Amino acid sequence: MPIAFREWAVTVRALAEGEQLITFRKGGLREPGRPFRLAHERFFLYPTFEQQSSGLVRESHQPELRRALEEGGWSDGEPLPGAFAAGGPMQQPDRVRIRAWAEDADHFTVADPRCVDALSPFCVWSSDYAERRLGWRRRHQPLHVLLLRTHRIPRPVTVKVRDEYTVSHPWVELQRELPFEGTPVLSDAEFERASEEIRAITSEAGQPVLA
């Protein structure tokens, strides 16, 4: 069965549109003491809706929060446009749309807030989001920075949400076949230019993670 990586719906959209190239990870919020581990090098992107707050997305991408609701399907009707405003609990969808997959192009750990701030052009999150990620269990776990090469699949696939898909673990095993097909969201030249900038930033204050 194909493996998928759980990430905010607004982030999945940004990755699929080439507006974001990195993601941050530590241990799961419900997995104290367990650091993040990149268990797979290629995976589909699974959109989630919990803990997604408008205050954690940059002003320029606030409209994307409303459009991110398109990544889910609700039998009782789509949540109101302001569902993300307070960042509180919201009803989870019955179905989600899988529109892209990614491969790990590089993987770093960082602990310097200046490094995290310098990476802000490569993601849609606010500086507050990045600082929260860096600060959580800071003495015990570094912040993982994943550089992703994202591909859009030819036709988005709708997947029924199962109970095992809603756990806090970052990885889920999808109960249907999906091919790793599609076109990279950025050209080779565009991705290489951005990758060089990201590697230059992380080389000053980060450490590459060896396989």
Residue with the bigger pLDDT between 204 and 198: it is 198
Q: What's the rounded Cα separation, in Å, for the pair 147 and 195? A: 8
Question: Which region holds residue 109: left if phi is over 0, alpha if psi is between -120 and 50, else beta?
Answer: beta
Distance CA 171, CA 15 (A): 17
DSSP tag of 169: S
Supply the pTM of this predicted model: 0.86
Q: In this predicted structure, what is the pLDDT of residue 28?
A: 45
Over residues 141-159, the pLDDT tens digits come to 678 899 999 999 999 999 9
- Give the pLDDT confidence of 37-88 residue by residue, as tens digits: 677 899 999 999 877 777 788 888 888 888 888 899 988 877 766 666 655 5
Mean pLDDT of the chain: 82
Any alpha helices (H) in 46-89, and if so which ranges? 62-68
- Chain Cα centroid distance, residue 32: 20
Torsion of CA 105, 107, 111, 116, to 10 degrees: 10
Of 153, 181, 209, 200, nearest in space to 15 by CA: 153
Domains of the chain by residue range: 3-208
Three-state DSSP state, 23:
strand
What is the assigned CATH class of domain 3-208? mainly beta
Q: ∠ at Cα 50 (48, 51), nearest 5°? A: 120
**DSSP assignment of 11-63:** HHHHHHTTS--EEEE-S-TTSTT-------SEEEEEEE-TT--GGGB-GGGHH
- Asked whether the CA dihedral 76, 79, 80, 81 is positive or negative, the reply is negative
Q: In angstroms, rounded to a whole number, what is the distance separating the alpha carbons of residues 139 and 154? A: 43
Structure tokens that stand for 129 in this block: 């989001």
At residue 88, the pLDDT reads: 59
